Structure 1
Amino acid sequence: FNPPADGIGLDGLQRGWAHIERATRGGSDREARFNMMGASMQGAMAFQKGLGCVHSLSHSLGGVDPRLHHGTLNAMFLPAVVSFNASAESIQKENRLNRMAQVMGLASGSDIPEAIRDMNARLGLPTGLAAMGVQRGQFDQIIVGALADHCHKTNPRIATAGEYAEMLGDSL
């Protein structure tokens, strides 16, 4: 429970979502880059809420295969983790996904995972973990690391090994 972090996070999401494409198109758009800097700072301030399954999975996979970029891994895992967290009591009680969707210009919180996948594609990111060379045979090792990661317990819904396997499969 951290209302200031929630507000900062929502504003950062709106700022980042509105400017990331312009900021990554060559780098000469100073307004877009300035807003991405602000969104990045706001994201760091919202870390007080915890980083959850996205980072548990990214930390673990990055340890298994250090050539993989942490930020790209976060982008690959985010749609599956958003879907997983949708049923969390705190997410539903506080209408978080619909509030996020509103600042992203989406009709509903259920649209967020696909919107993130679409944004990833527009940004030229890999289509999934398989495109990054990750294989199902690595899942057990990734899951062990994710369960032990310090971010695991900060997720709004605590994942089991089986649920991590589902998120990995959805991100493949």
Structure 2
Amino acid sequence: MTSTDRGPNETIFTLEATQLKYGHGAVEELGWELKRLGLARVLLVADPHLRRLGLTERVQGIIEQAGVRVTTFEDIHVEPTIDSFGAAARFAAEQDVDGFVALGGGSTIDTAKVANLIRTHGGAIIDYVNAPVGGGRKPPSPLRPLIAVPTTSGSGSEATTVAVLDIPDLKMKTGISHRTMRPTLAIVDPELARTTPAAVTAACGLDVVCHAVESFISRPFDARPRPATPDERPPYQGSNPVADIWSLKAIEFGGRYLRRAVRDGDDLEARGTMMLGATMAGIGFGTAGVHIPHACAYPLAGLKHGYRAEGYPTGHNFVPHGFSVIVTSPAAFRFTYDAAPDKHIRAAELLTGGPITDPGPHSLPDALIALMKDVGAPAGIAALGYEDADIPALVQGALKQQRLLVGAPKAAGAAEIETIFRQSIANW
């Protein structure tokens, strides 16, 4: 059979997953993993707030005990900007390192990805930012090894190809995405999430849920046009049977454990399972992709900076990523319901822990709203500081995220996105 015989649509999907090491005390094996990879000197990119908890020194010690030299960079922004990425990239470019370790949440891991990218291939960060915002340049070869050690349970960055950044001059967030940016190994240790504040746990956990649901109901991989070459196959390929397995389990974990994880920081079963769920969701959406809620989240995070986030040790206002994605998700999934009713209902069942007695377009939105209420999420975009007059600018910001929107199970243009924003002013 020739490529012409296969028709115009895609017939292939790929799964390229980060190696995973999970369990209590897993971080103690970091030194062994560095030696296994043949690394002699690494750059430790660490959340600065972990030093006061003694975690940075602990990890530095583990690295040094393995006979690996370590230099540390801690100038991390909670929501990274192109400038903060630039500072990390410049520092990394000056270091004689053959690998990276990232210790922290998604912001830290994303910073390490970009520092690794520029250390390896040079150039300006904007050159690699997704088109049409940036140049969309593709790294020509693999990056240096990166071991991600997450301390929160949300972004799944330890398993994805993406680094998200804010570009203040454009009042928007966007990303850099390429298969070479996926970390080499994720070491997920539940004990590292014990000190995460409840509000941060809530925002991170809602990000897990949104990742998993969006990827599960994304446009099927075989509904996309076939790429001209394998190199042009996007990292976000659409839902497929393998990615669905990871996404479904992450949805289940969110429904069963997020409320507990928010309620009790010492509930290591709940916090550890949410950390595992974040990585699993990362594997799922790292292959299938996310779409409407994440496209809407970028302008929500970038257009205004008036929201004061609880629990985050930062002196500036910002919208935590998990909150920016979840606030439009009920309206988004109400809109996408008729494209895949069975998948929407299945996701709702996993979030609620049982069969839906009155299934319909409201099932998944209702399940999400109940979870949002229980963990203290903002009620809608008004709670983030937006009003009706801001919606045209929000729509335009979302429309710039075509890399994401093409993965929606049904087409969403300006009119549809405007409706989603208007319905999201207040979800209850």
CA–CA distance in 2 between the matches of 1:166 and 1:5? Answer: 29
Partner of 1:63: 302
What code does the residue aligned with 1:7 have? I
1:103, distance to aligned residue in structure 2 (A): 2.1
Mapped contact 2:348–2:367 kept (Cα < 8 A): no
Q: Calculate the aligned-residue CA RMSD, in Å.
A: 1.4
Partner of 2:420: 167
CA–CA distance in 2 between the matches of 1:129 and 1:118? Answer: 17
Gaps of 5+ in 1: none
| 2:270 pairs with 1:32 | yes
CA–CA distance in 1 between the matches of 2:348 and 2:394? Answer: 30
Q: Which structure has greater helix proportion?
A: 1
Q: Which has the higher contact order (CA 8 A, sep 6+)?
A: 1
Partner of 1:54: 293
Partner of 1:45: 283
Give a deviation string over 1:121-153, Cα, whole Å, max 9, x none: 111111111122111111111111111112111
What code does the residue aligned with 1:151 have? L
CA–CA distance in 1 between the matches of 2:355 and 2:399? Answer: 32
1:170, distance to aligned residue in structure 2 (A): 1.0
Partner of 1:101: 348
Mapped contact 2:259–2:375 kept (Cα < 8 A): yes
1:26, distance to aligned residue in structure 2 (A): 3.2
Which TM-score applies when normalising by structure 2?
Answer: 0.38
CA–CA distance in 2 between the matches of 1:156 and 1:139? Answer: 23
1:29, distance to aligned residue in structure 2 (A): 0.2
CA–CA distance in 2 between the matches of 1:41 and 1:22? Answer: 19
Give matches, 1:85-124, under 5 Å.
85-88=336-339, 91-92=340-341, 95-104=342-351, 105-107=354-356, 108=359, 110-124=362-376
Gaps of 5+ in 2: 1-220, 222-239, 306-317
| 2:390 pairs with 1:151 | no
Which TM-score applies when normalising by structure 1?
Answer: 0.91
SS in 2 for 1:144: helix
CA–CA distance in 2 between the matches of 1:170 and 1:129? Answer: 9
Superposition misfits of 4+ residues, deviation over 6 angstroms: none
1:102, distance to aligned residue in structure 2 (A): 2.8
1:3, distance to aligned residue in structure 2 (A): 0.7
CA–CA distance in 2 between the matches of 1:50 and 1:35? Answer: 22
Give a deviation string over 1:48-95, Cα, whole Å, max 9, x none: 21110010000122121242222101111111111111022xx14xx2
Give a deviation string over 1:139-170, Cα, whole Å, max 9, x none: 11111111111211111112111111110011
1:106, distance to aligned residue in structure 2 (A): 4.4
What code does the residue aligned with 1:58 have? A
What code does the residue aligned with 2:302 have? G
CA–CA distance in 2 between the matches of 1:132 and 1:146? Answer: 16
SS in 1 for 2:394: helix
Mapped contact 1:50–1:155 kept (Cα < 8 A): no
1:112, distance to aligned residue in structure 2 (A): 1.4
Tell me which structure has the larger Cα radius of gyration. Answer: 2
CA–CA distance in 2 between the matches of 1:26 and 1:125? Answer: 17
